[in-house]
Amino acid sequence: MRVAIAGAGLAGLACAKYLVDAGHVPIVFESREVLGGLVAAWKDEDGDWYETGLHVFFGAYPNMLQLFKELGIEDRLQWKEHTLIFNQPEQPGVLSRFDVPDIPAPINVITSILRNNDMLTWEQKIRFAIGLLPAIVRGQQYVEDMDKYSLLEWLQMRGVDDRVNSDIFVAASKALTFIDPEDVSATVPLTALNRFLQERYGSKVAFLDGSPTERLCQPLVDYITERGGEVQVKKPLKQILLNPDSTVRGFALRDIDGGCDEMVTADAYVSAMSVDVIKTLLPEPWRGLEVFRRMQSLEGVPVINIHLWFDRKLTDVDQLLFSRSKLLSVYADMSNTCREYANPDKSMLELVLAPAKDWIDQSEDEILAATMAELKRLFPNHLEGDTPAKLLKSKIVKTPRSVYTAAPGSQACRPEQATPITNFFLAGSYTLQRYLGSMEGAVLSGKLAAQAIDQRYPGTAVAASALEPVSVS
């Protein structure tokens, strides 16, 4: 069966991969020249990579890890020590570690919290543990039901000390969703916490050994094309064309060179574009359908990824760090964490600026100046004094609408992969799956969309053949 997919982010590529595995023929149309969507990366004029986002993989990403195995590229994941490292805002330059011992879950994570005395007192830890109990004991259904509350409301309801919020959850919430605890649904951080508490290596972090575009997306494309599928870039979906019964008749693709639009027909169609894009492309007759109506409330959240190259090493930490700064979220010295970006003498910091709503429209100079001011608190020994480290160059990537904003109440707005339109499916990390707006969520959504297609059309696997594009004016 032939399946047309719009969007070559991880969801679209994973969907195509699992469709070829099931014997179908996917063809992916990506609007941009570069693969990967929110994991896309580019090389600058010096040959240095810069990325849409600083990305880490977690041990609690079963579908992503399985995908690496199936592609034969597991050695590209560089696993780090099992520890979470936080900056201490009141002690510039000082780090606090939650070292997770190699013992079964959840004792490993609990031990790491109990052993850390820099950030929380014993009383705060005990009240935190008691507050968390229902989320652990009553499981995912309880966690889902908490979607009506913001994380901050939930912590207050559970009597958790404010210090736990300011010390741990502000950093966790910014890292997971790019927004603060007063704006994020309680379901999101509680889901992540539950995974970390249930799996021995759930909170263990890995970095990819190079750019996601080359080291993860390209192997996916090779896998798909070697098995009869296709991936075409610079092919934006312009319109979803309908049959009289409102099923999809074809995808109209815009010619970016100003030529004729092209219509592509297939047996089934998938949108693997971000929720902001598919919302604008929904055909009029579908807009009243409950699932698409609810989707209108979802919206991508702004985020900014900053790259700074320095003339010397600022740190030898080979791990993700939680800055706990107002401006910044997580960061890493990629010259330590990533094989392809390695440099023994110079640092390349990659930092996520979040929440970014007040910064997304600011100039790059303003963003850079504010970031450098914050960095003095993170690296006082290198950025203050008589011979501060010199900033060699910088790159700033703004994403005004990234993953869906995980606000309270948004779980009910996330659509399933199968829609009421019989030949139309959705993939994307915003669609309903248990891993939230993450790379794991994107891959799982693609897999679920492929399964839904396979189930809706049983016995339709065909030998590989390309889709025939038809020119339409």
Ligand X SMILES: Cc1cc2nc3c(=O)[nH]c(=O)nc-3n(C[C@H](O)[C@H](O)[C@H](O)COP(=O)(O)OP(=O)(O)OC[C@H]3O[C@@H](n4cnc5c(N)ncnc54)[C@H](O)[C@@H]3O)c2cc1C
Return residues touching ligand X (CB under 6 A).
6-12, 29-32, 37-39, 52-56, 236-237, 272-274, 277, 303, 305, 352, 399, 402-403, 428-429, 437-442
Which residue's CB is nearer to ligand X, number 120 or number 208?
208
Instruction: Please say which residue, 29 or 98, places its beta carbon nearer to ligand X.
Output: 29
Residues 6+ apart with CB under 8 A from 200: 59, 102, 103, 104, 105, 108
Q: In whole angstroms, what is the distance from residue 146 CA to residue 189 CA?
A: 11
Rg of the chain in Å (alpha carbons): 23
Task: Check if the beta carbon of residue 412 is closer than 8 Å to that of residue 366.
Answer: no
| Cβ atoms < 10 Å from Cβ of 455 | 10
In the complex, minimum distance from the CB of residue 39 to ligand X, in angstroms, rounded to a whole number: 5
C-alpha dist (Å) from residue 211 to 41, 50, 148: 6, 8, 37
Q: Report d(CA 105, CA 148) in Å as an integer.
A: 29
Dist CA 326 CA 373 (whole Å): 12
Identify the burial level of 362 via C-beta atoms within 10 angstroms of its C-beta, where 0-12 means exposed, 13-18 middle and 19 or more buried. middle
Give the bridge partners for 308, in sequence order: 349, 394
Q: How far is the CB of 168 from ligand X (least distance, A)?
A: 18
Q: Write down the residue that tokens 């490292």 correspond to.
A: 85
- As given in the structure block, the two tokens for residue 92 are 């510039």
- Measured from the CB atom, is 10 or 406 closer to ligand X? 10
Identify which of residues 389 and 421 has a Cβ nearer to ligand X in the complex.
421
Q: How far is the CB of 278 from ligand X (least distance, A)?
A: 8
* Residue where the block lists tokens 């080291």: 215
In angstroms, the CA 341 to CA 41 distance is: 13
Q: Which is nearer to ligand X, 59 or 437 (CB)?
A: 437
Closer residue to ligand X (CB): 150 or 274: 274
Q: Which residues contact 229 (CB under 8 A, 6 or more apart)?
A: 16, 19, 20, 25, 26, 27, 28, 464
Q: Name the minimum Å distance from CB 207 to ligand X.
A: 9
Between 408 and 441, CB nearer to ligand X: 441
User: Among residues 394 and 399, whose Cβ is nearest to ligand X?
Assistant: 399
Q: Could you give the C-alpha distances from 379 to 281, 315, 347, 373, 450, in angstroms and in order?
A: 46, 8, 12, 10, 47
Distance of CA 411 to the CA centre of its chain: 17
Nearest alpha carbon to residue 430 among 247, 277, 325, 259: 277
Comparing CB distances to ligand X, the nearer of 267 and 276 is: 276
- Give me the helices (H) in 346-460, please: 364-378, 380-383, 439-456
Question: Which helix (H) or strand (E) element contains residue 140?
Answer: helix 139-145
Cβ closer to ligand X: 10 or 308?
10
**Min separation Cβ 134 and ligand X, Å:** 26
Q: Which residue in 77, 52, 338, 352 sits closest to 210, CA to CA?
A: 338
Q: Which is nearer to ligand X, 9 or 26 (CB)?
A: 9
